[in-house]
């Protein structure tokens, strides 16, 4: 049951009975603020024209009518124009029973809609780094959240496996690699190829300096450096399907894919479909031809094709180069059309950094002008960059935080801190390693996902692994603590699976209230494409339970019914923590 909707409905009926025709928009219901007594608050000001009474008199009249007519409403109080409504313990008991009885609590019924979420989209000239981690974690979590809202979700990855940046790594490997392979070097393939991308940049800068020293301008030097000309020639050969270039390209990309797979597995993300730019970059040409025929696009003297969006507050946008080669927009037009038609999509979400906001604004607008109504169902999940205390990262200069190194560092830090705090006492070596991996990755994922995607964030690995405060380990420890209580109950032979009649203390009702908020929280997270909504909920639930656990005994409670009820409450809290954290891609340990 959506309690907000239920309260709004019964209040609408009572107010309509008192004052005549009332619109749903005039019924403003919100949760009662913590400093006041009550569960839900009605704002009476929109109703004063109908009641023709003061705010206090209007609120009192409505409150009295609600208590008289609705069994679940146990009382009310009025503060100025606000009516604070209290729901009975029996009402919350019924809500708690519904939670216990629901096997898939928080999972919405099927909508019949298919949504594609594209994330990761790495380049095959370098390993994944911290920025990619935020992208992957956001994409995977949003996919889980959309699925929990009843959608059929297709997780997609478009690999940028062609272009000048790939050729730069290839040229550097040919020049300076001496046949080095992942096997001969002991390096992951994506790291090896990334090293040669950095190597290219080093030699490119040296050649520019040499050319400037013999009298060329900086601009001339940048354009005529031999190593760059070699990379540009290699790209032309690739497009002409030169067998030697294609063979080297496939070999080096193969090394990278093997490396990516290791990182994806460590991060706990996966994909249902993988697309490759080398197979999709020509797709948009037919759409460009269609736009030209319809007069939506125009051709310049050099043969390049453009669209004029100045009337829409933008500018002119290149869609096809004069030599007939495609640009990113060409490809994205084609892939969008192919995906919507082949997968019968109801929507597609692109998880791409905010530096591409303009690109997606143009993509949607161009498709709209071409008559594709589904362009309205394209959503760009624009996220901010991840920065470090030292500043921004640069791949070509090798100043990035490597994803694999960061994952290893997080697990190592989790191991050190867990050992210091005695969290691994009594664990076998295998159990300890599993828990440390869970804590390290949980800390990393939670620290990134708790931040609203739109915000630029500062990442501090040490701060993220803290067993107190708004962190993944704090939530994981709360879950493990509850599991420990439940294990002890089972060891003592206490049966707590069946509902029992027991009086709730106020703190227990507060926990039940929060548990009833979970389905709406999942819905809100989907509407806003924000895993941070789930993260905030999980943290607040853990905080609430820990305060309750500190003040109220569970296993030492003398009344057997109360003891079993409290065990049920603990079990359902652990279940919701587990379910919520799974939407973030985070595992929670049972021992810690």
The reply to whether 306 and 164 lie within a common domain is no
Task: Give the dihedral of Cα atoms 578, 582, 585, 591; nearest 10 deg.
Answer: 20
The closest alpha carbon to 326, from 361, 283, 356, belongs to: 283
Looking at residue 395, its pLDDT comes to 44
Per-residue pLDDT of 204-228, as tens digits, reads 999 999 999 999 999 999 999 999 9
Neighbour count for residue 20 (Cβ, 10 Å): 8
Looking at residue 497, its pLDDT comes to 85
Residue 85: its H or E element? strand 82-87
How far is CA 269 from each of CA 409, 460, 587, rounded to the nearest angstrom? 19, 22, 13
**pLDDT (average), residues 560-573:** 96
The reply to whether 271 and 309 lie within a common domain is no
The reply to whether 20 and 148 lie within a common domain is no
Contact in structure between 130 and 386 (CB atoms under 8 Å): yes
**Predicted confidence (pLDDT) at residue 588 exceeds the cutoff of 90:** yes
CATH no. for residue 44?
Answer: 3.30.1360.70
What backbone torsions phi and psi does residue 165 show, to the nearest 5 degrees?
A: -65, -35
The reply to whether 12 and 127 lie within a common domain is no
Contact in structure between 380 and 356 (CB atoms under 8 Å): yes
Q: What b/e readout covers 564-576, taking b as 16+ CB neighbours within 10 angstroms? A: bbbbbbbbbbbbb
The reply to whether 374 and 236 lie within a common domain is yes
Residue 170 lies in a domain: yes
Looking at residue 399, its pLDDT comes to 54
Residue 260 lies in a domain: yes
Of 533 and 397, the structure prediction assigns the larger pLDDT to 533
How far is CA 545 from each of CA 10, 39, 379, 472, 573, rounded to the nearest angstrom? 31, 18, 37, 16, 8
% pLDDT > 90, the chain? 82
Contact in structure between 304 and 322 (CB atoms under 8 Å): yes
CATH no. for residue 156?
Answer: 3.40.50.620
Cα–Cα distance, 521 to 106 (Å, whole number): 9
**pLDDT (average), residues 389-397:** 52
The reply to whether 187 and 211 lie within a common domain is yes
**Predicted confidence (pLDDT) at residue 498 exceeds the cutoff of 60:** yes
Q: How far is CA 206 from the centre of its chain?
A: 41
Residue 394 lies in a domain: no
Per-residue pLDDT of 31-73, as tens digits, reads 999 899 999 999 999 999 999 999 999 999 999 999 999 999 9
The reply to whether 266 and 289 lie within a common domain is no
Looking at residue 574, its pLDDT comes to 98
Per-residue pLDDT of 431-468, as tens digits, reads 888 999 999 999 999 999 999 999 999 887 777 777 78
Range of the domain at 307: 285-325
Contact in structure between 480 and 588 (CB atoms under 8 Å): yes
Looking at residue 42, its pLDDT comes to 96
**Predicted confidence (pLDDT) at residue 469 exceeds the cutoff of 70:** yes
| pLDDT confidence band for 387 (50 / 70 / 90) | confident
Domain boundary among 87, 102, 123: 87
0.85 cut: is pTM over it?
yes
Per-residue pLDDT of 284-338, as tens digits, reads 999 999 999 999 999 999 999 999 999 999 999 999 989 888 888 998 999 999 9
| pLDDT confidence band for 388 (50 / 70 / 90) | confident
Residue 95 lies in a domain: no
The closest alpha carbon to 119, from 578, 531, 535, belongs to: 531
The reply to whether 566 and 432 lie within a common domain is yes
Per-residue pLDDT of 404-419, as tens digits, reads 988 998 899 888 888 8
Domain boundary among 87, 103, 138: 87
**pLDDT (average), residues 154-160:** 96
Cα–Cα distance, 332 to 6 (Å, whole number): 44
Residue 592 lies in a domain: no
The reply to whether 27 and 120 lie within a common domain is no
**Predicted confidence (pLDDT) at residue 9 exceeds the cutoff of 60:** yes
Token digits of residue 380:
């760009």
What backbone torsions phi and psi does residue 242 show, to the nearest 5 degrees?
A: -60, 125
Instruction: Tell me which residue has tokens 């799974």.
Output: 582
Bridge-based pairing state of the strands 305-308 and 298-299: antiparallel
| pLDDT confidence band for 280 (50 / 70 / 90) | confident
Residue 568 lies in a domain: yes
Cα–Cα distance, 163 to 123 (Å, whole number): 9
Cα–Cα distance, 76 to 11 (Å, whole number): 13
**Burial class for 323, CB neighbours closer than 10 Å (0-12, 13-18, 19+):** exposed
Cα–Cα distance, 53 to 56 (Å, whole number): 8
Q: What is the mean pLDDT of the chain?
A: 93
CATH no. for residue 411?
Answer: 1.10.730.10
The reply to whether 66 and 185 lie within a common domain is no
DSSP 8-state class, residue 354 = G
Residue 107 lies in a domain: no
Residue 359 lies in a domain: yes
**Predicted confidence (pLDDT) at residue 539 exceeds the cutoff of 50:** yes
Contact in structure between 119 and 155 (CB atoms under 8 Å): yes
How far is CA 243 from each of CA 166, 238, 246, 468, rounded to the nearest angstrom? 16, 8, 5, 58
Contacts of 554 (CB under 8 A, 6+ apart): 485, 563, 566, 567, 570
**C-alpha angle 23-24-28 in degrees, rounded to nearest 5:** 115
Q: What b/e readout covers 352-375, taking b as 16+ CB neighbours within 10 angstroms? A: bbbeeeebbebbbbbbebbebebb
Token digits of residue 50:
């109908």
Looking at residue 428, its pLDDT comes to 84
Per-residue pLDDT of 73-114, as tens digits, reads 999 999 999 999 999 999 999 999 999 999 999 999 999 999
The reply to whether 83 and 154 lie within a common domain is no
Looking at residue 464, its pLDDT comes to 79
Number of domains the chain contains = 4
What's the per-residue H, E or C state across 305-332?
A: EEEECHHHCCCEEEEECCCCCECHHHHH
| pLDDT confidence band for 513 (50 / 70 / 90) | very high
Looking at residue 396, its pLDDT comes to 44
Contact in structure between 296 and 369 (CB atoms under 8 Å): yes
How far is CA 256 from each of CA 9, 93, 252, 259, 533, rounded to the nearest angstrom? 57, 55, 6, 5, 34
The reply to whether 294 and 437 lie within a common domain is no
DSSP 8-state class, residue 455 = S
């Amino acid at each position: 049951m959506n309690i907000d909707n239920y309260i709004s409905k019964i209040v609408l009926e009572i107010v309509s009975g008192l004052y005549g025709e009332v619109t749903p928009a005039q019924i403003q219901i919100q949760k009662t603020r913590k400093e006041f007594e009550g569960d839900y608050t009605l704002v009476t000001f929109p109703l004063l024209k109908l009641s023709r009474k003061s705010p206090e008199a209007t609120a009192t009249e409505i409150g009295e009518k609600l208590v008289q007519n609705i069994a679940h409403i146990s009382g009310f109080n009025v503060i100025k124009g606000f009516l604070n409504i209290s729901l009975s313990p029996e009402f919350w008991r019924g809500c708690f029973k519904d939670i216990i009885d629901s096997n898939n609590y928080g999972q919405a019924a099927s909508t019949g809609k298919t949504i594609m979420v594209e994330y990761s989209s790495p380049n095959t000239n370098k390993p994944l780094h911290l920025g990619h981690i935020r992208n992957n974690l956001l994409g995977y979590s949003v996919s889980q959240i959309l699925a929990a809202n009843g959608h059929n979700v297709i997780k997609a990855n478009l690999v940028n496996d062609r272009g000048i940046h790939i050729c730069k790594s290839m040229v550097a490997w040919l020049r300076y690699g001496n046949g080095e392979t992942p096997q001969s070097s002991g390096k992951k393939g994506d790291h090896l190829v990334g090293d040669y991308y950095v190597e290219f940049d080093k030699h490119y800068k040296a050649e520019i300096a040499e050319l400037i020293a013999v009298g060329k301008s900086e601009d001339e030097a940048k354009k005529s450096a031999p190593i760059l000309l070699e990379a540009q020639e290699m790209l032309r050969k690739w497009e002409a399907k030169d067998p030697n270039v294609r063979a080297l390209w496939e070999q080096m990309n193969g090394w990278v894919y093997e490396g990516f797979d290791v990182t994806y597995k460590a991060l706990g993300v996966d994909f249902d479909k993988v697309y490759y730019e080398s197979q999709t970059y020509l797709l948009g040409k037919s759409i460009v031809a269609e736009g030209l025929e319809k007069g939506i696009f125009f051709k310049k003297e050099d043969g390049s094709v453009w669209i004029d969006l100045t009337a829409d507050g933008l500018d002119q946008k290149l869609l096809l180069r004069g030599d007939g080669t495609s640009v990113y927009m060409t490809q994205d037009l084609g892939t969008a059309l192919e995906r919507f038609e082949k997968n019968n999509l109801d929507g597609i979400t692109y998880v791409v950094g905010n530096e591409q906001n303009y690109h997606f604004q143009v993509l949607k607008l161009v498709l709209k002008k071409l008559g594709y109504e589904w362009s309205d169902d394209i959503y760009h999940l624009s996220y901010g960059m991840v920065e470090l205390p030292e500043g921004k990262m640069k791949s070509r200069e090798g100043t990035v935080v490597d994803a694999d190194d960061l994952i290893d560092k997080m697990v190592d830090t989790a191991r050190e801190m867990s050992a210091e705090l005695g969290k691994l006492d009594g664990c076998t070596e295998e159990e300890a390693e599993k828990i440390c991996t869970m804590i390290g990755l949980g800390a990393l994922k939670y620290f990134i996902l708790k931040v609203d995607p739109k915000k630029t964030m500062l990442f501090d690995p040490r701060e993220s692994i803290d067993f107190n405060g708004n962190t993944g380990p704090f939530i994981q420890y709360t879950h493990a603590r509850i599991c420990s209580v439940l294990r002890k109950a089972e060891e003592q032979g206490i049966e707590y699976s069946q509902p029992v009649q027991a009086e709730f203390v106020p703190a227990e009702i507060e926990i039940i209230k929060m548990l009833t908020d979970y389905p709406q929280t999942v819905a809100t997270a989907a509407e806003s494409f924000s895993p941070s909504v789930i993260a905030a909920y999980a943290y607040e639930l853990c905080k609430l339970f820990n305060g309750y656990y500190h003040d109220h005994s569970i296993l030492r409670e003398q009344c057997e019914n109360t003891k079993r009820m409290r065990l049920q409450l603990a079990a359902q809290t652990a279940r919701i923590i587990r379910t919520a954290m799974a939407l973030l891609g985070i595992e929670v340990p049972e021992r810690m």
